[in-house]
Structure 1
């Protein structure tokens, strides 16, 4: 049985406070799975006043766009390289392959260069300068790194777009649902966690092809690429909007006033993908709303840079 280091409540609450100044971060992303990861990658890279992006990790996914987690991870890895070809700002930021499968059991990690790099990068972090691990896909890579070296709990803060709002009738959301063992590990191990739910919070981040055409398309090569991915995501854009969930996790680190949040006890995740609650559990920070306009205004301005 794995023993996790336990932060004191004072240490945990300090880590869960919104960071002041510029933060070091890595981005763990299933980039090929949807069209929103591409926006999140660009948003992070174009926010150097707040974010120092140190690495990208390709996360596994399995749906109609992949034949399995390994294929999804490889496609996400290649998609990160494609985005980099449109963004000179990404030059010099390493991209690592992630897990080839989901966690096979509650305490069984999956080796990957992403997990190994996260351990090395986190353990090299000064105690007063935690590494922010922004995850916008299945949390397999991050959970594997924690299982590989539990001491990184003392060195990192995880910001995860995962699950649905705590009042939602279920939490069978794609990022959380894919790897229940990894999801439970993140919620149970005591790592400082900012949870950004999809339905009920990030679901406010809707935009349209017309808006993307007006404010993104002419923002250089990456703007044209983002526009094309959005245009190709639907056959008919009449009266159609699409949620760009993943930018929420980036926006939280830029300005938490745009994402109202509170401290709550870490919820319990059932095998039926429902939340339950125990007031004796450790605290996490929980986002319960997103001011949609503030986030998109910031994103659109930065893409023009």
Structure 2
């Protein structure tokens, strides 16, 4: 199939690329079992009701040493999402399985519950009230939805952690390189895209076991789960930190000044995963920095507020 995406006027796209300045509805697309940062991002979203209304969570595929293949990675992520949903006491939060494979070609979407749910939710909204899609894994679900329903490009704003900084020597980043066809669909579609690069931008969003022991461990079931998840991610924590990449995608919606950004032409991606410039491309919003301290302080404070509320409810 060959998609014919909605031609969005550039001025309309640029307006969409500005931070909304209000509470928004989001769908979280996540490969939750892949690493430990997706759990942090999902819980940060759940703890930020003043900024975000989490409508649904979609499980994304992944394949590394944590899975036997994309389908297994997606299924493990689906089960991890259900676990976090249960810990949060939010059993009614909709959760959908995503793609069981990567896109086999540039015009070949992968059918899934997640792709169809995204289309349904986005098209049900008003034209001036886009759904925000926070994607923190391979972009297969979103790209497939765009191919299945090209009008979707004018009904969502996509916030994606993907690739490395434009100045980096390559963009061979896990989320981007898993499904290069899907990456190109998203970059070519004209969908309003807020891009958070990994190496060179988000890569200093780090924390340590001792910091989490002090500020997260005793903050209710969610805090305990995050601490235990981090504890188990390496055998020796002495002198070591870990990047919690995916927090940044939620943080841009919570407080955009914590994630300074600029408009830039949508790049192309080479077969060997390098950014390529091209004339006449539409604009995206490109995040250039993240305020590590502000983001973690906000997460810690919100976990504390939630834990206090849970204790009071239990009295």
Query: Which bin holds the TM-score, normalised by the shorter protein?
Result: over 0.9
- Counterpart mapping for 1:51-130 below 5 A: 51-88=52-89, 90-130=90-130
Q: TM-score, normalised by structure 1?
A: 0.99
TM-score normalized by structure 2? Answer: 0.96
Residues 236-288 of structure 1 show CA distances to partners (whole Å, capped at 9, x for unaligned) of: 00001000000000000011100110000001101010001123100000001
Q: Say which SS state the counterpart of residue 137 (structure 1) adopts.
A: coil
Mark the runs of 5 or more structure 1 residues left unpaired by the alignment. Answer: none
Tell me the residue number matched to 2:310. Answer: none
Contact 2:209 2:241 in 1 (8 A): yes
- Equivalent pairs counted in the alignment come to 304
Instruction: Check conservation: 2:85, 2:93, Cα contact below 8 A.
Output: no
Distance (whole Å) between structure 2 residues aligned to residue 176 and residue 48 of structure 1: 29
Q: How does 1:246-261 map to 2 (within 5 A)?
A: 246-261=246-261
1:55 counterpart SS class = strand
Which residue in the other structure is 2:183 paired with?
183
CA distance in 2, matches of 1:242, 1:199: 13
Q: How far is 1:91 from its partner?
A: 3.2
How far the C-alpha of 1:170 sits from its partner, in A, is 0.2
> Once the 2 structures are TM-superposed, how far is the Cα of residue 146 of structure 1 from its aligned partner?
0.3
Q: Which runs of 4+ in 1 moved over 4 A?
A: none
1:213-292 equivalences under 5 Å are 213-292=213-292
- 1:85 shift after superposition: 1.8
Partner secondary structure for residue 157 of structure 1:
strand
- How far off its partner does 1:2 sit? 1.7
Q: In the alignment, which residue of structure 2 is the partner of 1:170?
A: 170
Deviation string 1:69-125 (CA, Å, 9 cap, x unpaired) is 00000000000011112112x332100000000000001000000000000001001
Q: Which runs of 5+ in 2 are unaligned?
A: 307-315
Q: In the aligned structure 1, how far is the partner of 2:257 from the partner of 2:189?
A: 27
Deviations 1:113-147 (A, max 9, x none): 00000000010011111000000000000000000
1:29-44 correspondence to structure 2 within 5 Å = 29-44=30-45
Structure 2: distance between partners of 1:55 and 1:86: 16
